[in-house]
Each structure stands twice: as structure tokens, then as C-alpha cells.
Amino acid sequence: MHSLNKQGSIQGIQDGSVIFRTGSGIEALSLESAVESAVPSLDDITNFYRDVFRRSQMEADCIVMSLIYIERLIKDTNGGVRPRPSNWRSILFSCMVMSSKVWDDLSMWNADFSQTCPRGVSFSLQRINELELAVLGCL
């Protein structure tokens, strides 16, 4: 079990949600998007990566590291959290943010990342914070 400082501890993963035990009870944080979509094409994924990469001015290493984080996320959760049609943008974006914070010399703040989303995609500051907490908790 991973500890999450003052936030609580991870109890498990169920239906694409990370289950936390906090002082006020058990809470589930969904990695799923509110919008159900079709399976993304390779072009969809490539364009998403390219747009976030360019808008946030990441180092090239961040793309490779974010893919490693995605692979670790799948492995460390025994497949409980993996990219699906409803969550692939959330997982890719949060792993890109995390890789930028670890590998870039000058990374942006989460508030800045909320402004770098590709056209038609939006992550609020609160959502980025939630995603970051969930991914860090799983790894």
C-alpha cells in the first residue's frame, strides 16, 4: 500500500478509479473522462502528444519518460489503470505533466499546464491536481 502524506492511503483500484482511505472515509478518484469516445487512432494520440509537447515547451526526453510512466502505471496496478477510450487523454496528459516536472530544468506549474491543452480538450487546475495525485499514488 502506498502512503499519500496527509491525503490518506490507496486502498485499491476498481473500474478505472483509484480508491483512497482518508480521515473522512473512503473516496474514489476516477481517471475516466466525462466524455465517452471511440478508440483513438495513432494520429489522434500523436497529435495530442505533439500539441501538449509544443504548447508546454517540454524537453524531448519528456515524451519518452511519459511513455515509461504509462507503462509503469499499467504494470504497478496490474492493469487496473490503463489507457481506455474514456481516459487516454487524462492518463497521457498527467504522465506528461509528471515527466516534465521530473525531467525539465524549468517545468511549469499546474495552473500553466491547464492552459496548454490541445484544442477541444480541457483540464481544469483542480482536475490536473487530482490526476497528479492519483498517478503519484499508483506509482
Q: Which helix (H) or strand (E) holds 27?
A: strand 25-30
Query: How much is the average pLDDT of 37-48?
Result: 88
**Strand pairing report for 25-30 and 9-14:** unpaired
Alpha-carbon distance of 23 to 96, in angstroms, equals 30
The pLDDT of residue 26: 41
pLDDT digits (tens, 9 = 90+) for 59-103: 888 889 999 999 998 998 888 888 888 889 989 999 999 999 888
Residue 43 — pLDDT band, cuts 50, 70, 90?
Answer: very high
In 3D, which of 65, 70, 56, 66 has the Cα closest to residue 111? 56
Lookup result for grid cell 489522434: 44
What secondary structure letter does DSSP report for 139? -
The pLDDT of residue 95: 93
